[in-house]
Structure 1
Amino acid sequence: MAESLSLFTGSEVVIVTGASSGIGAATVQRLAQKGVRKFCVTGRNEQGLCKTIDTVIREATNKPEFVTVIGDLTHTQTIEKIVEDTIKTFGKIDTLINNAGWSYGIASIFEETIEAFQKTFDLNVKAVVMLTKLCLPYLRESKGNVINISSTGSVQNYNNLSFYCMSKAALDMFTKCLATEEGKNGIRVNSVNPGFVDTGIHERCGMPRSAVDELVERCKNSHAVGRGGAPEEVANIIAFIASKEASFVTGNITMVDGGLNCYNPL
């Protein structure tokens, strides 16, 4: 249901990658509830993107406009099309939300392949840098902002997910460097780092459901609040950081993790 309190004017243009499910889909829905009316949504799953759009349109009082780009962000042509189609349709870019991410392997460093390392960094780091660089001229014009969806894995290691954790650590440093460089141009850059959120990504990365269920159970002891998070809880923070309400927030690594990064049950 749309809310009366709006954090946005309605004229903002927001790009959300990985918007077909999970945190990306929840972010689009939350931003629409808060007043955003112009979106470019991207992902590899066309059916999932259609579901995200249908949900937003069904709930919205003022129907948002959408540009949809289906494709793999590790392909340069997909990244170029995102920017080209957004500018062609809306004429500007106010916020870039780099949400798409993946782990291409769940194994020890000894067992894992260099190919898995390359693929993980290609999507989680290289694609983010490329898309952000293409958006920067337009973000400078709009005095916009970039939000990178990282992970608590950037600051603590997860067993058999070394490459993923390394890529998220690199993403956090990219956030800090870009915030320092672009602050003078009016651009804010922040990371949002979720704890465990059961979005289906673990299974899509190759983890059996039984193992995911074990993670859900372990959250009772690993998270200070005694549970994992929901996509909507992360989306709430993303929406705030994207808004003018957070005009003095940049270079931040924001943990949205129920206390996972600091909790010691012992």
Structure 2
Amino acid sequence: MGTQLTSRVVVITGAGSGIGAAIAIKFVEESEPQTGLRLVITDRNGETLARTVETCLSGGRLIKENLVSVVGDITEAGTREELVKATLTGFGKLDVLVNCAGILIPGSSVPGADPKDADLMMETNVKSVYQLVLAFRESLIKSKGAIVNLSSVCAFKPSTNRLFYCMSKAALEQVTRCMALEYAKFGVRVNSVAPGVIHTDIHSHRDTYESTKVSGVNEYYDAQAAQNPMKRNGTPSEVADAVFFLASSKASFINGHSLVVDGGLSFAGPLLD
């Protein structure tokens, strides 16, 4: 396949907003008009997912028959089963799986933190990923497909008040590497993209969460941008570009790699809590 994913079937989780929505839009923009892409997207928020559907169809490059949306929580077996059925029954195969669904619950290292938060983040950020890969295993092997997992710089960079989140993303990186080893013999590549601070809804909790250093989402973004070597934060579309690259033939010999998209934040000092 070329850079364009001609006649490819792509599944993207967490596609209702932010990075996930940007990834869906990127695949549509890079596809051949009307016939070059079959897209299956899912999110637990039906309202935002509907907006992604509308955007994907608005440019005329993707026709309605080639786009399926599934509303549901990816941690639930029923949602995963519906996603697999919609993909394989509707389009007959899977070529690219993008695991973007993820959550961040703040305050995980402060006194009184709820251990249930750790369970929920591990269920969403890690367990649902390998469960979905296993569900699509035969189809991915048959197509010699590609898997891209959405990680975070928090997988490598310690951070206060993000213990459970950092733990889940570090685990996801190891899932990525182990799967890369296991599936390489079948011609399936498994990689991850690790974004830094990106302007998405994931930090909206800062309007109510009392941070020790900054308060409010706008102050948080400003403070992070100030310590980034590039003096700005990233955008969802910049992360989407990296995901699309790893899923394309341009990355045909890249396997088990984590592509960090953070403007150099990884080595520029501690993440703010």
TM band (smaller chain):
over 0.9
Query: Could you say which residue in structure 1 is the equivalent of 2:9?
Result: 13
Q: Secondary structure of the equivalent of 1:156?
A: coil
Give 5+ residue unaligned stretches, structure 1: 1-5
Where does structure 2 lack aligned partners over 5 or more consecutive residues? 209-214
**Which residue of structure 1 lines up, in the alignment, with residue 47 of structure 2?**
47
Aligned partner of 1:77 in structure 2 is 78
The CA distance in 2 between the partners of 1:62 and 1:116, in whole Å, is: 38
Q: 1:29 aligns with which of 25, 28, 35?
A: 25
> Partners of 1:82 and 1:170 in 2: how far apart?
24
- 1:124 maps to amino acid: N
Q: Report the CA distance shift for 1:252/1:25 in structure 2 as closer, same or farther (over 3 A).
A: same
Aligned counterpart in structure 1 of residue 252 of structure 2, from 247, 255, 260: 247
Structure 2 CA distance for aligned equivalents of residues 62 and 115 of structure 1: 41
Shift of 1:129: 1.1
Distance in 2 (CA, whole Å) between partners of 1:12 and 1:53 is 18
Q: Deviations over 1:13-67 (max 9, x none)?
A: 0000000000000001111111152111000111111111111111233536111
Tell me if structure 2 keeps the 8 A contact 1:106–1:207. no
8 A contact 1:105–1:116 mirrored in 2:
no
Indicate the larger mover: 131-140 or 218-227: 218-227
Q: CA deviation at 1:219?
A: 2.2
Contact 2:28–2:62 (CA<8 Å) still a contact in 1?
A: no
Q: Normalising by structure 2, what TM-score?
A: 0.90
| Pair 1:130–1:109, CA change in 2 (3 A) | farther
Counterpart amino acid of residue 43 in structure 1: D
One-letter amino acid matched to 2:47: Q
CA RMSD, 1 decimal = 1.6
- Counterpart secondary structure, 1:170: helix
Q: State yes or no: 1:263 paired with 2:263.
A: no
- Given that 1:38 and 1:66 are in contact with CA atoms closer than 8 Å, whether structure 2 keeps it comes out as yes
Q: Once the 2 structures are TM-superposed, how far is the Cα of residue 264 of structure 1 from its aligned partner? A: 4.6
Q: Give how far 1:241 is off.
A: 0.8
Provide closer, same or farther for how the CA distance between residues 126 and 264 of structure 1 changes in structure 2, counting only shifts above 3 A.
closer
* 1:60–1:10 Cα change, 3 Å: farther
1:214 and 2:215 equivalent? no
Segments ≥4 residues shifted beyond 6 Å: none
Match of 1:3 in 2: none
Aligned identity (percent) is 37
Q: Letter of the aligned partner of 1:146 in structure 2?
A: I
- The amino acid across from 2:169 in the alignment is K
* Secondary structure at 1:261 match in 2: helix
What is the match of residue 147 of structure 1? 148
In structure 2, how many angstroms separate the alpha carbons of the residues matched to 1:216 and 1:111?
A: 27
Matched-pair contact (CA < 8 Å) for 2:227–2:268: yes
Residue pairs, 1:75-224, within 5 angstroms: 75-203=76-204, 206-208=205-207, 210-224=215-229
Output the CA distance in 1 between the equivalents of 2:268 and 2:74: 35
The Cα shift of 1:136 comes to 1.3
Query: Is contact 1:147–1:189 with CA below 8 Å preserved after alignment?
Result: yes
The SS at the match of 1:168 is helix
